[in-house]
Amino acid sequence: MSVQSAAADVDVDLRQLFASLARNWLRILLFVLVVTGLAFAFASFATKHYKAQTQVEIAPRESVYTRPAGSNNDGDKPILDEQGVATQVQIISSNEILKQVAQKLGLARLPEFDETINMSALSRVLILLGLKNDPMDVPADERVLKKMREKLNVFGVEKTRIIAIEFSSEDPKLAAAIPDAIAAAYIAGQGAAKSESNTAAADFLAPEIADLSKQVRDAEAKVAAYRAQSDLLMGGNNATLATQQLAELSTELSRVRANRAAAEGTADSVRKALQNGGSLDSLPEVLSSDLIQRLRERQAELRATIADLSTTMLDNHPRVRAAKSQLADLDAQIRSEAQKIMKGLLMQADAAKARESQLVSDVNQLKAASAQAGEQQVDLDALQRDAAAKRQQLELYLTNYREAASRQDRNYVPVDARVASPASVPSEPYFPKVGPIVGAAAAASLLLAAIFTLLRELFSGRAMRPAPGARFAPIDEVAMPATARRQPDAPEPSARPEPAVASAFADRDAETQWPEAVAEPEMAAQPRPVAEPELAVKEEPVAEAKSVAEPEPVVETQRPRSVLGEIDIEKAAEKLIASGAARAIFVSPEGDEAAASAILVAREVSDAGLRVLLLDLTASGAASRPMLDSGLFPGITDLLASQAQFSDVIHADLYSDCHVIPVGTADPVRAMRAADRLPIIMQSLTTAYDLVVVECGPADAQGISRLGGEATEVFLSMLEPDDEVTKAAVKLIESGYPDLTLVTPIGHEPPGTPGRRSAA
């Protein structure tokens, strides 16, 4: 059972709290009816307001037949993106348009838009007392505009090119007329702006056209005068005459050079053939001569005759000799004709060479003339470009001027906007709505009345009840037995009860009384306090034990004794499992022997299937040595001193599935310098394990403050119910641990008994 302070906390009794609503139902109902009636009266007598809406579409209105010739279709479109629509919204709600509408409809004469008309006596008194500003100090136009802006709402419909114009008024006809008038004024303003722009363009283009016409005439005159002065006569292919002649002479020079080279080559071939005695039949120029062809034919006939004569005559026969002589004459004639052909070719080559020289001279002269003409042509081209640019600009200005003048004469200025949906006269007011107002008032008043009733019940204390002392089923408490006072010459009593007595003390029922082994009747068992979780301390008389054989006088002294409620190991484990605690801190004010509670609870929870780790923070290692049978393992001091890692300091229990971190072998002084790392280590361990059991030894509240966290349970291990345990418990409770739980290991089976898993 938890040991708590005398000032127990209180809880809210929800049943008692909400029962106050039923007790005060008449008051709540009256409040709701009053508020609902007032809301109904307000909605019924309030001034009705009507709202109408006009929609304007922003879209190009230019027809394909009236669009200016040569203009780009995209260039005439207005800016229809989000920024463009927002700009048109600002134009529609501008002061200029609102002033035009106010003047057209005479809004300044209506009391709805000018509060100075039919001003009430109360308003005049407030103005005289200085509690209200005098509206007469503001000009009439500004007063009307202010009221119009309060009732006007202009916005762009999302994902469209439509602008909605909403206006509210007390007059339904006026609520429909004003947005239509605003839309009409906006479209008229856009048309006037376009007409003004068209007129300004025509007025600008007229003098510009006259000036450009004079400039074009002057530029063309300069071009003609410069061409005549520079003798830049144009030939074919839009080129000057000198350039064209140079091209023709260059072509002729190339042809003459080719003929000369061909004649020289042919003459050289004939010369080599004549000098070397070679055959002239391979030369085309020789074969093309008619005389040589006839001589060759005669030569062939003579050879045939000589061949015929040789069959019947000898070589010295006169006829054979005469034929051979004629054949030799024919060869001489052929060579003589070839020489003539060679001379003719040489003469032809000389003539071509002379022609080439003449052509080269003419070409050089034309080159100089063409270069001079090119320089002059550059200046001429500059004058022509200037004249062409001015002519093109003049033509563009003339076209635009004709279009602007025609639109101005016909008064045709299409506006890129139209009224898509005119406003209709509303038949029902948008304010006030009687049903929603009355319903909202009823719901709000009911809620406020319920909240007020609950708060009053809560603050009065009637809905509060004492909080239960423990989160588990109550555990029976027993009265502490009186012990005999030791005589001065009596032997020193044992530090704790014998095992059999301790087991009986731990297992007895709450209603069981101690044996009447004492002399005074006051030593009977005291009844356990009911619903009193705090620590009860009562002074009782203590009597010395008397001998059975011989009565002795009783020396009575009074000594304070504690009445404590402690739980055993099984119930402590059940409490940790049921509460889902992540950390269990054990304090043992009686020393190392009381550390057995932490060991037994850790093993009990581990046997239930949870992952449990025991952290030994005692100076002597009393909690880890029974689990490891040695104190030489690395532990928490090695981890704090950065001499080991988590995997090195976590060891397995020899008798259960529990893990344990012993004290360690590092220097404790060095380890305590890193004591600030304990919260980080505890957080890491609670992440890896379901439950971390920490044995702190005889520590105080300040010593265990670094080990706590969320879902932490604090236990005080007790062997004997003496004053030392009582004082330690009271100090922990006063230091901020009211849920302290006392646990005793007495009566639990020791480690290594049958049923426990031994080390393999």
Across 389-411, average pLDDT: 82
pLDDT at 287: 56
Give a yes or no: residue 677 inside a domain. yes
Give a yes or no: residue 633 inside a domain. yes
pLDDT at 526: 34
pLDDT at 242: 67
Across 179-202, average pLDDT: 89
Express each pLDDT in 468-501 by its tens digit: 543 433 433 333 333 333 333 433 433 333 333 2
Residue numbers of the domain that contains 454: 10-46+432-465
Please, what sign has the CA dihedral across residues 202, 206, 212, 216? positive
For 316, half-sphere exposure in the C-beta direction (CA atoms, 13 angstrom radius) is 0
- Clarify whether residues 460 and 573 are in a common domain: no
Give the residue with greater pLDDT, 252 vs 209: 209
Structure confidence at residue 99 as a pLDDT band (50, 70, 90):
very high
Express each pLDDT in 247-277 by its tens digit: 777 888 888 888 778 777 777 777 776 666 6
| 3-state SS record for 427-448 | CCCCECCHHHHHHHHHHHHHHH
- Clarify whether residues 570 and 458 are in a common domain: no
Give the residue with greater pLDDT, 363 vs 549: 363
Q: Measure the CA–CA gap between 371 and 243, rounded to whole angstroms.
A: 9
Give a yes or no: residue 711 inside a domain. yes
pLDDT at 65: 62
Helix or strand (DSSP H, E) at 579: helix 569-579
Give the residue with greater pLDDT, 485 vs 196: 196
pLDDT at 5: 35
Is the predicted pLDDT of residue 295 greater than 90, yes or no? Answer: no
Is the predicted pLDDT of residue 701 greater than 90, yes or no? Answer: no
Is the predicted pLDDT of residue 537 greater than 50, yes or no? Answer: no
pLDDT at 544: 33
Express each pLDDT in 662-693 by its tens digit: 988 888 888 888 888 888 888 889 988 999 99
Angle between helices 318-410 and 172-230 (to 10 degrees): 140
Point out the domain boundary residue: 465, 490, 513. Answer: 465
- Range from 262-266, 406-410, 513-517, 736-740 carrying the lowest mean pLDDT: 513-517
Is the predicted pLDDT of residue 655 greater than 70, yes or no? Answer: yes
pLDDT at 732: 85
Give a yes or no: residue 271 inside a domain. no
- Range from 107-116, 277-286, 380-389 carrying the lowest mean pLDDT: 277-286
**SS3 of 105, please?**
helix
Please, what sign has the CA dihedral across residues 621, 626, 628, 630? positive
Express each pLDDT in 503-517 by its tens digit: 332 333 333 333 333
Point out the domain boundary residue: 450, 465, 480. Answer: 465
Is the predicted pLDDT of residue 715 greater than 60, yes or no? Answer: yes
- Clarify whether residues 590 and 727 are in a common domain: yes
Give the residue with greater pLDDT, 705 vs 532: 705
With beta carbons less than 8 A apart as the criterion, state whether 384 and 377 touch.
no
pLDDT at 26: 93
Q: Looking at the DSSP assignment, which residues form a beta bridge with residue 156? A: 163
Percent of the chain with pLDDT strictly greater than 70 = 76
Helix or strand (DSSP H, E) at 465: strand 464-466
Across 171-199, average pLDDT: 91
Express each pLDDT in 579-618 by its tens digit: 888 999 999 888 888 888 889 999 999 998 899 999 998 8
- Clarify whether residues 449 and 586 are in a common domain: no
Give residue 192's identity as a one-letter amino acid code: A
With beta carbons less than 8 A apart as the criterion, state whether 144 and 112 touch.
no
pTM, 2 dp: 0.43
pLDDT at 548: 33
- Range from 302-316, 441-455, 539-553, 694-708 carrying the lowest mean pLDDT: 539-553
DSSP 534: B
- Range from 68-82, 270-284, 568-582 carrying the lowest mean pLDDT: 68-82
Give the residue with greater pLDDT, 481 vs 446: 446
Give a yes or no: residue 680 inside a domain. yes
Across 432-456, average pLDDT: 91
- Clarify whether residues 574 and 452 are in a common domain: no
DSSP 698: S
pLDDT at 255: 83
Q: Measure the CA–CA gap between 556 and 484, rounded to whole angstroms.
A: 10
Is the predicted pLDDT of residue 55 greater than 80, yes or no? Answer: yes
Of the candidates 587, 582, 609, 611, the residue with the CA atom closest to the CA atom of residue 597? 587
Q: Measure the CA–CA gap between 114 and 107, rounded to whole angstroms.
A: 8
With beta carbons less than 8 A apart as the criterion, state whether 127 and 121 touch.
no
Structure confidence at residue 105 as a pLDDT band (50, 70, 90):
very high
Of the candidates 89, 98, 94, the residue with the CA atom closest to the CA atom of residue 58? 89
- Clarify whether residues 592 and 733 are in a common domain: yes
- Clarify whether residues 580 and 442 are in a common domain: no
CB atoms under 10 Å from CB of 559, counted, come to: 12
pLDDT at 694: 93
pLDDT at 57: 92
Rg (CA), the chain: 64
Helix or strand (DSSP H, E) at 342: helix 318-410
- Clarify whether residues 581 and 721 are in a common domain: yes
| Surface-to-core class of residue 543, CB atoms within 10 Å of its CB (0-12 exposed, 13-18 middle, 19+ buried) | middle
pLDDT at 658: 93
- Clarify whether residues 447 and 584 are in a common domain: no
Express each pLDDT in 150-182 by its tens digit: 999 999 998 888 999 999 999 999 999 999 999
Give the residue with greater pLDDT, 542 vs 30: 30
Point out the domain boundary residue: 442, 465, 488. Answer: 465
**SS3 of 24, please?**
coil
Express each pLDDT in 114-133 by its tens digit: 888 877 777 778 878 877 78
Of the candidates 701, 711, 594, 707, the residue with the CA atom closest to the CA atom of residue 661? 707
Give a yes or no: residue 504 inside a domain. no
DSSP 316: T
Express each pLDDT in 324-368 by its tens digit: 787 777 777 777 777 777 777 778 777 877 877 887 877 777 777
Give a yes or no: residue 724 inside a domain. yes
Both structure tokens of 474:
């109550």
pLDDT at 46: 86
Give the chain's mean pLDDT: 76
Is the predicted pLDDT of residue 51 greater than 90, yes or no? Answer: yes
pLDDT at 449: 92
CB atoms under 10 Å from CB of 89, counted, come to: 18
Q: Which residues contact 655 (CB under 8 A, 6 or more apart)?
A: 603, 627, 751, 752, 756, 757, 758, 759
Give the CATH number, domain containing residue 635.
3.40.50.300
Strand order in the sheet with 162-169: 152-156, 162-169, 50-57, 418-421
DSSP 559: E
Q: Measure the CA–CA gap between 9 and 469, rounded to whole angstroms.
A: 9
- Clarify whether residues 572 and 456 are in a common domain: no
- Clarify whether residues 456 and 590 are in a common domain: no
Across 405-431, average pLDDT: 84
Across 380-384, average pLDDT: 83
Give a yes or no: residue 759 inside a domain. no
- What is the count of structural domains for the chain? 2
Both structure tokens of 548:
């059975």
Query: What distance, in Å, lies between the first and last C-alpha atoms of the chain?
Result: 38
At which residue do the structure tokens 């646990």 appear? 743
pLDDT at 145: 92
- Clarify whether residues 584 and 700 are in a common domain: yes
